[in-house]
Amino acid sequence: MKYFLGVLLVALSWSCKKDEPEEKDKTPTTSTAINVEDVLKNWSSSIIIPGYEKYNADAADLQSAVTAFRQNVTQENLDVLRSKWKAAYLSWQSIGMFEFGPAAEITLRGETNIYPTDVEQLEKLVADGSTNIDGANKLDVKGLPALDYLLYNDSDSAILAQFTNVNSGSNRLNFLIEVTSQIAENAAMVNTRWSANGGNYGNQFNSAVGTDVGGSLGLVINTLNQHLERHLRDGKLGIPNGNRNFSGNALPGHVEATHKGDISIELAEKNLHAVESFYLGKSVDGEDRLGLDDYLESIGAKYNDGSLNDAIKSQFAACKEKLATIPKPLKENLVSNKSKIDDAVKELQKLIVLTKTDIPSATGILITYQDNDGD
Amino acid sequence: MLNFNTLKKNLITKEVDIAPLVIFRILFSVLMLGSLLRFWLNGWIYDFYIMPKMHFKYFGFEWVEPLRVSGMYILFGVAIAATIFMMVGLFYRIASVVFFLSFTYIELIDKTTYLNHYYFISLMALLMIFLPAHRFFSFDAKRNSNIQSRKIQAWSINVLKLQLGLVYFYAGIAKLNYDWLVNAQPLKMWLPVHAAKPVIGFLFKYTWIAYVFSWFGALYDLLIPFLLLSKKFRPFAYAAVIAFHALTYWLFPIGMFPFIMICSTLIFFSEDFHKKLLFKLEQLFNWNPQILNSNPAIVSQPLLSVLALFFIFQVVFPFRYLAYEGPLFWHEQGYRFGWRVMLMEKAGSAFFYATDKATKQKVEIRNCDYLTAGQEKMMATQPDMIVQFANYIAEDLKTKGWENPEVTSEVYVTLNGSGSRPFIDPTINLAELEDSWQEKTWILPFK
């Protein structure tokens, strides 16, 4: 009798114990099994943190260029400012998809890259001399797209004239400064939170090795899937292509960096490349280290008769190929080369099927915190 | 020759001690209380019943609606209160009816949250209504000496054993399929992920361990009811119960199910075991009433007939899938309510397109505009939910001025690591269909 009660109690208390503390055991238990923790460590140290550092540095450069431009509104300074803006926009493409942890806390993507910019609202704020761009309804008058508008909405001479206008020039400059400062502040904040001598979120990220919803692997995969679906496939191609509006008409004003006009494909390519590198665990210097590819191989993930990793790698290649065939600039080819955009969207969709269906299935990560008995 | 009357007497009318039933009442109530509190504290009342814009209704229960915000919390509060009343045996009949109705109502709101063990709880709760579990060691018995009893008829305990045995046995039958036995799927996929776990984790990378688990799991489910019934094998069987359920808890996100089974199966233990346990509780709570009456709750013929129907239904219902063509795990027609637990690894991606028939305008639907992440995930692999969602999209577009929206889909599903493949006929207008028990011919064959 007592014996049985004892067994019951021991069993219950043992089962109740969470398994996180034990998983801190860092010695690899097998030679071939890849520890999730090692993949996470590589992601944070070779890709995410260096990515944020780069973006943060570029955002700081951008801010300096704005300061110089304010002091001297010249064509020369405008050119420098524009090149810094483009550099920051490109490095943004390497980290914008990591909308979890510190970035999610301050909704970095919403603060930095909502497009198209609401030009009317922006001009009204400038006319009113306001620099208040806080709050959810101001997300489309700020960030890198707002700079796209401010720096490229007209000819060079006209832009310079806007900033030197006797009535509104200083308002416009102040607005430019506020937008840029916020970009730089947000970049710095997220960068600090990840770094070891700042908030050290990297450490927290590396140690959340479970496959549950709180685990980093699940967090990363779910976030990347959302990114691929809504921000890469839809945001960069599908929406300008008219896939999401009832009329089905192309929307050239909805391409990324529409006022600059000729870098939309470049930005998309940079982003796709970044997602692929992340999948492969490729460091910012191009060295192939531990990534999801290695992990999928180590758990023997299959796709039909081949390996899932091979299927995903060749799908990345297909996406890159189709993206490269779209003639630049995107906004001028939306109608004339619609079929090429459709093709790229289709290939991205196939990639999404693999990352959204096959990867979670193979890795056992959970999409939501919910009991599941397997059906 | 088997004497029917003796059998009937032994299984149904024989007078036995009430202790096992009282212990069961207490354990069941405590576990239900714990489950409901856990659900509440996890924020799931909001996540599953308040946040979603639409709910996936069960066929025949379309009328079950979530209550308004505070209503949902009140409903859970009512169910929680009922478990406490059941536990202490105060107004037991009313409490057990209230618990059954409130719990079942909650579960019927949305099939996204369907779990076999919720179904099990509803069945158990329904049985509990008719059992004389409050005739001893309860406030009801204290207040009302007429119902007091130390003895009950054996049927009251045997129905619980039968219900539990049926769950296990059917779970075992469900495992007797090619993928489970010959391919060791889905365990071959599920176990390697845990290779970094401590102590025995290193085993999980080996394929043979998936076979061991698959075969042991199937044998366990098929045999455990019989082993638990046998006095000789019971200690071994119960150790297996604990090991099996603890292991599944450790590896899989199956919530309260392991604890419910570990506690429920105590009902198979001897009368003496429960008497001693109950005696401890009596001492602990200074329970020592004079038992004046012995009212063992004699089973009525109508009740016996109802119970028989209850079990016949459960024996037959899981086999309804035989009426449909093709692999059950793929089309899932007749999958639920069949004790198919942790049987397959299935995931999908579903894309929906709406076309206005009049203007030929075509637009892609953003699933997240309508569904929570959990709903989207469950919907993407289950055809009945896919139709329901498409119907919902069509209705929503009508309110936005579309006259006759056509909804098509592109769905890819992977089953037991097959690799994702087309699931639904992409040309079929799902908006015209309605979820029913009719054969879903627009599910593409699994190949």
Specify which of A9-23, A69-83, B288-302 reaches the highest per-range mean pLDDT: A69-83
Q: Which of A207-211, A285-289, A319-323 has the lowest mean pLDDT?
A: A207-211
Residues 309-328 on A with a CB inside 8 Å of B are: 311
User: What are the pLDDT digits (tens) for A49-62?
Assistant: 999 999 999 999 99
Residues within 8 A of A (CB atoms), B 209-248 only: 235, 238-239, 242, 245-246
**Cβ contact A39:A126 at 8 Å:** no
What SS3 class is residue A89?
helix
Average pLDDT over residues A193-213: 87
How confident is residue B1, by pLDDT bands cut at 50, 70 and 90? Answer: low
Which residue type sits at A201? Y
Q: B363 and A366 in contact by Cβ < 8 A?
A: no
CA distances from A341 to A322, A345, A364, B213, B323 (A): 8, 6, 33, 48, 45
Task: List alpha helices for chain A, DSSP H.
Answer: 2-16, 20-23, 36-42, 49-71, 75-95, 102-105, 108-112, 119-128, 143-152, 156-164, 169-194, 201-207, 216-226, 264-280, 292-298, 308-325, 330-333, 338-353, 359-363
B239 CB neighbour count, 10 Å cutoff: 13
Distance CA A192, CA B214 (A): 48
Please report the pLDDT score of residue B200 as a whole number. Answer: 87
- Residue A342's pLDDT band (cuts 50, 70, 90): very high
User: What pLDDT is recorded for position A374?
Assistant: 57
Which of A7, A248, A362 lies at the smallest CB-CB distance from B239? A7
| Cβ contact A1–B276 (<8 Å) | yes
- Give the single-character DSSP code of A195: S
Cβ atoms within 10 Å of B444's Cβ, excluding its own: 18
Q: Which pLDDT value is given to residue A18?
A: 36
- Note the pLDDT of residue A247: 78
Tell me, what's the ipTM?
Answer: 0.87
Per-residue pLDDT at B64: 97
- Give B-chain residues touching A207 at CB under 8 angstroms: none
- What's the CA gap between A100 and A217, in Å, rounded? 11
Measured between CB atoms, does A31 come within 8 Å of chain B? no
pLDDT at B359: 78
Using CA atoms, how far residue A50 sits from A64, A194, A224, A278, in Å, is: 21, 10, 18, 12
Per the DSSP assignment, residues forming a β-bridge with B406 are B355
Q: What confidence score (pLDDT) does residue A223 get?
A: 94
Question: Residue A118 has what pLDDT?
Answer: 97
Task: Decide if B197 and A19 are in contact by the 8 Å CB cutoff.
Answer: yes
Residue A333 CA to chain centroid, in angstroms? 25
What residues contact B299, with CB distance under 8 A and at least 6 apart? B12, B13, B153, B155
- Which has the minimum average pLDDT: A12-26, A256-270, B10-24? A12-26
Among the partner residues A354, A363, A370, nearest to B420 by beta-carbon distance: A354
Identity of the amino acid at B1:
M
How large a percentage of chain B has pLDDT more than 70? 99
Task: Decide if A230 touches B, using CB distance below 8 A.
Answer: yes
pLDDT in tens, A108-145: 999 999 999 999 999 999 999 999 999 999 999 999 99
Return d(Cα B390, Cα B426) in angstroms, integer: 13
Contact B300, B155 (CB under 8 A): no
Residue B263 to residue B24: CA distance in whole angstroms: 8
Across all residues in chain A, what is the average pLDDT? 90
Least confident of A172-186, B159-173, B285-299: B285-299
Neighboring chain B residues of A371 at a CB cutoff of 8 Å? 113, 115, 253-257
Q: What single DSSP character describes residue A370?
A: -
Residues 6+ apart with CB under 8 A from B40: B73, B76, B80
The answer to whether B347 contacts chain A (CB < 8 Å) is yes
Interface test with B, best of A353, A355, A367, A369 (most B CBs within 10 A): A353
Out of A32-41, B121-130, B259-268, B423-432, pick the least confident.
Answer: A32-41
Structural domain spans, chain B: 15-145, 154-268+300-336, 345-432
Q: How far is B433 from chain A (nearest CA, A)?
A: 23
**What is the model's pLDDT at position A196?**
87
pLDDT of residue B361: 80
In this complex, the residue of A4, A349, A367 whose CB is nearest that of residue B377 is A367
Indicate yes or no: CB of A370 within 8 angstroms of CB of B374: yes
Joined together, the tokens standing for residue B280 give 């401890």
Pair type for strands A306-307 and A302-303: antiparallel
Q: Are residues A354 and A315 in contact, defined by beta-carbon separation less than 8 angstroms?
A: yes
Buried b (16+ CB within 10 A) or exposed e, A44-53: bebbbbbbbb
In B, minimum Cα distance to A238 occurs at: B364
Contact A357 B341 (CB under 8 A): no
Query: What is the distance between the alpha carbons of residues B428 and B413, in angstroms, rounded to a whole number?
Result: 17
Taking CA–CA distances from B422, the nearest residue in chain A reads: A353
CA torsion through residues B151, B156, B157, B158, sign: positive
CB pair distance less than 8 Å for B114 and A30: no
pLDDT (0 to 100) of residue A375: 45
In which band, very low, low, confident or very high, does the pLDDT at A2 lie, cut at 50, 70 and 90? very low
Distance from CA of B408 to the nearest CA of A (A): 14
* Cis peptide bond N-terminal to A327, omega within 30: no
Q: Is the pLDDT of residue B27 over 90?
A: yes
Mutant choice from B412, B413, B424 vs A, greatest count of A C-beta within 10 A: B412
Which chain B residue is nearest to residue A20, measuring alpha carbons?
Answer: B197
Rounded-to-integer distance, Cα B32 and Cα B102, Å? 12
Higher pLDDT, B445 or A27: B445
Of all residues in chain A, the one with the smallest CA distance to B235 is A4
User: What per-residue confidence (pLDDT) applies to B144?
Assistant: 87
Contacts of B350 in chain A (CB under 8 A): none
| Burial class of B220 by CB neighbour count within 10 A (0 to 12, 13 to 18, 19+) | buried
Chain A residues whose beta carbon lies within 8 Å of the beta carbon of residue B410: 349
Q: Kindly determine whether residue A308 and residue B254, on different chains, have CB atoms separated by under 8 Å.
A: no
Substitution target from B42, B414, B424, B447 for chain A, most A beta carbons within 10 A: B414
Express each pLDDT in B60-108 by its tens digit: 999 999 998 899 999 999 999 999 999 999 999 999 999 999 999 999 9
CB A222 within 8 A of CB A228: no
Which pTM value belongs to this model? 0.90
* pLDDT of amino acid B292: 66
Task: Give the position of tokens 């001598």.
Answer: A197
Q: Are strands B362-365 and B346-356 parallel, antiparallel or unpaired?
A: antiparallel
Helix or strand or coil: residue A288? strand
Rounded to 5 degrees, φ, ψ at B155 are -55, -35
Give the mean pLDDT of A354-360.
95
The 3-class secondary structure across chain B, one letter per residue, is CCCHHHHHHHHHHCEEECHHHHHHHHHHHHHHHHHHHHHHHCCHHHHHHHCCCCCCCCCCCCCCCCCCHHHHHHHHHHHHHHHHHHHHCCCHHHHHHHHHHHHHHHHHHCHHHCCHHHHHHHHHHHHHHHCCCCCCCCHHHHHCCCCCCCEEECHHHHHHHHHHHHHHHHHHHHHCCHHHHCCCCCHHHHCHHHCCCCCCHHHHHCHHHHHHHHHHHHHHHHHHHHHHHCCCCHHHHHHHHHHHHHHHHHHCCCCCHHHHHHHHHHHHCCHHHHHHHHHHHHHHCCCCCCCCCCCCCCCCHHHHHHHHHHHHHHHHHHHHHHHCCCCHHHHCCCCCCCCCCCCCCEEEEEEEEEEECCCCCEEEECHHHCCCHHHHHHHCCCHHHHHHHHHHHHHHHHHCCCCCEEEEEEEEEEECCCCCEECECCCCCHHHCCCCCCCCCCECCCC
User: pLDDT-derived band of residue B39, with 50, 70 and 90 as boundaries?
Assistant: very high
Size of interface A-B (CB pairs under 8 A): 178
